[in-house]
Amino acid sequence: MLPTLTPSARHALPRCSTLAATSFLSAFSSTSSFSSLATNAAPHASHGRAIHTSKQRPSPPMPATFDAVTTAAQASTHSVDESVTAPSQPKPSALSVLPLSSVIRSLMTTTVSSSPILLGPSMAIMTALAHSTNPLLNPDRNFLLRFFLKKTFYAQFCAGENEREVRQTVDGLKAIGFRGVILGYAKEVVLKDEEKKNLASFDAESRKETTAEEIRAWTDGTLETVRLTAAGDFVALKFSGAGLQALADLAKQSPPAPAMADAIDRICQLAVSRGVRLLFDAEQQAVQAGIDDWTMAYMRKYNTPEQAVVFGTYQGYLKACGAILSDHLRQAREGGFALGVKLVRGAYLGSDPRQLIHDTQEDTNAAYDGMTEALLRRQWMAPLTPDSGAFPAVSLVVASHNAASVERAQAILASGSAATTDVAFGQLQGMADEISCKLVLDAKIAQASTQQADAGVQAYKYLVWGSTGECMKYLLRRAHENRDAVQRTRSSRDAMVGEVLRRFKSVFGMA
Ligand X SMILES: Cc1cc2nc3c(=O)[nH]c(=O)nc-3n(C[C@H](O)[C@H](O)[C@H](O)COP(=O)(O)OP(=O)(O)OC[C@H]3O[C@@H](n4cnc5c(N)ncnc54)[C@H](O)[C@@H]3O)c2cc1C
Residue type, 472: M
Total residue count of the chain as it appears in this document: 511
CB-based contact 195:239 (threshold 8 Å): no
CB of 264 to ligand X, least distance (A): 16
Cα angle 228, 293, 419 (rounded to 5 degrees) comes to 70
Strand bridging mode 423-428 / 277-280: unpaired
DSSP E strand stretches across 330-374: 339-344
Among 38, 189, 384, 428, binds ligand X (CB under 6 A): 428
Separation CA 313–CA 404 (nearest Å) = 20
Among 13, 98, 376, 399, binds ligand X (CB under 6 A): 399
Phi, psi (rounded to 5 degrees) for 31? -75, -5
Cis amide prior to 258 (ω within 30 degrees) = no
Of the candidates 289, 287, 297, the residue with the CA atom closest to the CA atom of residue 200: 287
CB-based contact 296:285 (threshold 8 Å): no
Which of the stretches 323-331, 352-360, 370-378, 438-446 binds ligand X when contact is defined by CB under 6 A? 352-360
SS3 252: coil
| 110 versus 364: smaller Cβ distance to ligand X | 364
| 139 versus 346: smaller Cβ distance to ligand X | 346
Window 140 to 179, contacts with ligand X (CB under 6 A):
none
| 206 versus 360: smaller Cβ distance to ligand X | 360
CB-based contact 139:128 (threshold 8 Å): no
Of the candidates 157, 216, 215, the residue with the CA atom closest to the CA atom of residue 183: 157
Separation CA 145–CA 471 (nearest Å) = 14
CB count, 10 Å around CB of 225? 26
CB of 189 to ligand X, least distance (A): 17
Among 361, 379, 415, 417, binds ligand X (CB under 6 A): 361
Tell me the number of residues near ligand X by CB under 6 A.
30
Residue type, 478: R
| 92 versus 383: smaller Cβ distance to ligand X | 383
Window 462 to 481, contacts with ligand X (CB under 6 A):
462, 481
Of the candidates 237, 228, 307, 290, the residue with the CA atom closest to the CA atom of residue 268: 237
Residue 32 lies near ligand X (rule: CB under 6 A) = no
Phi, psi (rounded to 5 degrees) for 427? -130, 155
Residue 119 lies near ligand X (rule: CB under 6 A) = no
Residue 277 lies near ligand X (rule: CB under 6 A) = no
Residue 345 lies near ligand X (rule: CB under 6 A) = yes
| 224 versus 484: smaller Cβ distance to ligand X | 484
Sign of CA dihedral 267, 428, 338, 291: negative
Which of the stretches 27-35, 156-164, 388-396, 422-430 binds ligand X when contact is defined by CB under 6 A? 422-430
Among 73, 170, 182, 435, binds ligand X (CB under 6 A): 182
Among 180, 256, 383, 426, binds ligand X (CB under 6 A): 426
Window 288 to 317, contacts with ligand X (CB under 6 A):
313, 315, 317
Among 36, 106, 240, 400, binds ligand X (CB under 6 A): 400
Per-residue buried b or exposed e for 259-287, using 16+ beta carbons within 10 Å of the residue's own CB: bbeebbeebbebbbebbbbbbbbbbbbbb
Dihedral angle, C-alpha 332, 333, 338, 339, nearest 10 °: 40
Which of the stretches 106-114, 303-311, 346-354, 387-395 binds ligand X when contact is defined by CB under 6 A? 346-354
Residue 437 lies near ligand X (rule: CB under 6 A) = no
CB of 248 to ligand X, least distance (A): 20
SS3 183: strand
Residue 358 lies near ligand X (rule: CB under 6 A) = yes
Residue 485 lies near ligand X (rule: CB under 6 A) = yes
Among 14, 81, 484, 498, binds ligand X (CB under 6 A): 484
Among 408, 488, 493, 503, binds ligand X (CB under 6 A): 488
Among 33, 76, 326, 427, binds ligand X (CB under 6 A): 427
Residue 219 lies near ligand X (rule: CB under 6 A) = no
Residue 413 lies near ligand X (rule: CB under 6 A) = no
**Residues in a beta bridge with 394:** 339
Residue 402 lies near ligand X (rule: CB under 6 A) = yes
| 247 versus 428: smaller Cβ distance to ligand X | 428
CB of 219 to ligand X, least distance (A): 19
Positions that interact with ligand X (CB under 6 A) = 182, 281-282, 313, 315, 317, 344-349, 357-358, 360-361, 363-364, 399-402, 426-428, 462, 481, 484-485, 488
